[in-house]
Amino acid sequence: MPAVDQYTEWEWILMGIAELSTNHSIRPAVELSMSAQTMYDKCVTLARNLWWTWQPDVINLFRDLDPIRWRQLDHNPVALLAEMTPERLEARVAELALQSRINQAYRRLKEYLSERPLWARTNAGVLGSKPVAYFSLEYGVHESVPIYSGGLGVLSGDHCKSASDLGVPLVAIGLFYDQGYFKQHLTVDGWQEEEYIDVDVTKLPLDLVTDAQGKPIIITLETRTSRLMAKVWQMRVGRVNIYLLDTDVEGNSPEDRELTSRLYGGDNRTRIRQELVAGVGGVRVLRALGIKPGVYHLNEGHSAFAVLEVIREKMMDDGLSFDEAFREVRQCTVFTTHTPVPAGHDRFDAGLVEEHLGPLRDALGISHETLMGLGRVEPSRMDEPFCMTVLALKCSRKANAVSALHGRVTRQMWSSLFSWRVEDEVPIGHITNGVHIPSWLAWQMKLLYDRYFPDRWFERMGEPEVWQAIYNVDPGELWETHLTLKNQLLAFVRRRVSRQCRRRNEPDEVIEAARTILDPNILTIGFARRFATYKRAPLILHDIDRLARIVNDPQRPVQFIFSGKAHPRDTAGKEFIKAIANLRHDPRFAKRIVFIEDYDINVCRHMIQGVDVWLNTPRRPLEASGTSGQKAVLNGALHFSVLDGWWAEAYDGSNGFAIGHGATHRSEHVQDARDAESFYHVLETQVIPEFYDQDADGLPRRWVLRMMNSISSLAWRFSSHRMVADYVRLAYLPAACGTSAEMPR
């Protein structure tokens, strides 16, 4: 029997709860094991805080509980545990000796939640009593919670994760879509079909938010024509809470109950109603919870109505006039704009605005024209619709774009709003996007870095010095680790492609062929993102014969993996998918170019961790930042991209490959032809020769050096830890304290 002092503190508490014994000094050995129920409850606690999504050992723990169901259930531990009884769990834990891993994971979660990291204590102290309220209409935290469509959502998720890791006081607001974004299937001839599946909220890590009496909190919103109600879900992401409004409430009309069913699902009327719920409703949630933010961060203009509600609160609470309240609220509001593409900026006509904002406008005591003016570049132009981006720009102290180039483009785009200033003085700066390293770095890579990087490097991953240690890594080991990940990706692709063929009832030989598709020795290029047309996925098809020669070169062949969804109403985007997916019917490409259906965080993770090269071919300057390439470079892939978005400021000649020279031509046609030519040329003269230049042991030394240059110069700089730290320094603290800080241009 172990001595009493060998128990951990936590086991003591547990035994107390389980009432195993009233006498702590004498304890029979058999009672040492946790009860099945306690073990089960610990697993549930772990599953209900999405902190686990960036803890490889907790992910592995869940997987080990039932590897097959784990995969089938989209890596959703809440759903997995719902299928298991405590007894079944206990049997599995005994079989694999998982008990100490459960205990350790649980203890680490408790520690994580109770400590306040040093960084926040020294750098974000004032925000403690004045947290940041972060508004976003999508959150991509994990594939099992499908309330995101693409980069914007994943960025919000990564922002929350880094805020949590750094200890930045932040609460997040969004909507709960019970059908999420759609699932994508392709027909035999490559046409995208959308399927909407009701997700079962009991299988998600969401808790209904209740008041002190245990009654669900219900938010009410008046429009001119109806009364809208919403309940609120709480989702935990480490130390950060995300509150999600949901209009599926008894008492709402059937139509309104479905208002928040789908992300980007409906028409303009659905859209303004969703934005009313998220913005105005979101502020009411904070009030109901007793949270008094010091900073409002509008992540995209979608949620900008929030500002109007905060002004109303200020007028009511402090007896201010509209103008006084407006000035005060403006001082503590920051706004991030994410796209120069016009369709990305919501515009509503006057009728829709009056119907939905009318009652709030009455409370603010302003006229219809004054309100409309807040959403117009030219307030007196009666035919100008109400633009959410304009509202956000007018109501924030400072706006920022998401890369240096995007900053320049955005200042130009909105210069007429600030017509009294020269363009260089438009109050729009930039904070370049980054990605959450613990979520996107393969654990195999992390183990390798652990061995060569300074102690506790994981707590200093935003510091450049840490990453210099990559040059100490043995090149052979780095390459081997990459090959392991590449093989994992190819196995994943084969599984998915053969499943796709089965679902389409294709002949057995087609399904069989999918099991051997792609070759681990071949240079492998990945391309995956939303199939928005400006992202130009089919650019590589510009000269199809040249592509065929490149792909089928007998000595130095190339293969491609594609994935991505088009917006359901984007016919041109769907044509792009079709063009790529149908290459499998062309014998020249059948074994060398594949399309993975239903792009999501899971597919993304496999791809960015396993490819040799990550390709991005946007039409400059429309890619505001892009983040998938940042995920890829962490894992040793080389970025091969048009000099747009983040790559325009990141590429230095030795840390990846560039398409074009950063010029933009007036004619899209000319621009596309030039970029395609550059793509082929750089591929043929730089990428392929360097990849296949391998020594006697098969080690491509020059390539591995480029991998090291890429990791050391890019990983820390394009991490969301660096990004959130920049937001704190350059946006949140100035907003909370009323000081000014120079944001880079």
Stretch that binds ligand PLP, among 419-427, 596-604, 667-675, 702-710 (CB under 6 A): 596-604
Give DSSP secondary structure letters for 97-149.
T-HHHHHHHHHHHHHHHH---HHHHHHSGGGGSSPEEEE-S-B-S-TTS-B--
Q: Does 600 bind ligand PLP (CB under 6 A)?
A: yes
Within 13 A of 24's CA, how many CA atoms are on the CB side? 13
- By C-beta, is 239 or 631 nearer to ligand PLP? 631
Cα–Cα distance list, 387 to 212, 329, 543 (Å): 39, 19, 40
- Gap between the Cα atoms of 396 and 127, Å rounded: 18
Quote the least distance from Cβ 74 to ligand PLP, whole Å: 13
Quote the least distance from Cβ 128 to ligand PLP, whole Å: 31
- Pick the binder of ligand PLP from 154, 581, 642, 728 (CB under 6 A): 154
Residue 192 gets which letter from DSSP?
E
- Pick the binder of ligand PLP from 151, 282, 375, 573 (CB under 6 A): 151
Residue bearing tokens 């093989």: 487
Q: Does 627 bind ligand PLP (CB under 6 A)?
A: yes
- By C-beta, is 400 or 641 nearer to ligand PLP? 641
- By C-beta, is 153 or 301 nearer to ligand PLP? 153
Stretch that binds ligand PLP, among 121-129, 148-156, 164-172, 210-218 (CB under 6 A): 148-156
Give Cβ neighbours of residue 43 (< 8 Å, ≥ 6 apart): 62, 65, 77, 81, 89, 102
- Gap between the Cα atoms of 653 and 656, Å rounded: 7
Nearest-5° Cα angle at 11, 10 to 14: 90
Q: Does 628 bind ligand PLP (CB under 6 A)?
A: yes
- Gap between the Cα atoms of 367 and 159, Å rounded: 37
Per CB under 6 A, contacts with ligand PLP among 76-115 are none
Q: What is the torsional sign of CA 287, 288, 290, 291?
A: negative
Site size toward ligand PLP (CB under 6 A) is 12
Stretch that binds ligand PLP, among 150-158, 308-316, 374-382, 396-404 (CB under 6 A): 150-158
By CB atoms closer than 10 A (0-12, 13-18, 19+), residue 112 is middle
Quote the least distance from Cβ 441 to ligand PLP, whole Å: 14
Quote the least distance from Cβ 232 to ligand PLP, whole Å: 26
Nearest-5° Cα angle at 22, 21 to 25: 80
- Pick the binder of ligand PLP from 168, 237, 518, 601 (CB under 6 A): 601
- Pick the binder of ligand PLP from 436, 529, 592, 721 (CB under 6 A): 529
Q: Which residues face 228 on adjacent strands?
A: 221
Quote the least distance from Cβ 416 to ligand PLP, whole Å: 28
Quote the least distance from Cβ 154 to ligand PLP, whole Å: 4
Question: Maximum distance among all alpha carbons in the chain?
Answer: 84
* DSSP-H helix ranges across 665-700: 668-682, 688-692
Identify whether the C-beta of residue 686 lies closer than 8 Å to the C-beta of residue 657: yes
- By C-beta, is 156 or 234 nearer to ligand PLP? 156
Q: Does 526 bind ligand PLP (CB under 6 A)?
A: no
- Pick the binder of ligand PLP from 131, 150, 526, 568 (CB under 6 A): 150
Q: Does 53 bind ligand PLP (CB under 6 A)?
A: no
- Pick the binder of ligand PLP from 626, 656, 660, 700 (CB under 6 A): 626
> What would the x/- binding string for ligand PLP be over residues 631 to 670, using CB under 6 A?
x---------------------------------------
Identify whether the C-beta of residue 533 lies closer than 8 Å to the C-beta of residue 576: yes
- By C-beta, is 599 or 651 nearer to ligand PLP? 599
Binding site for ligand PLP (CB under 6 A): 150-151, 154, 529, 599-601, 604, 626-628, 631
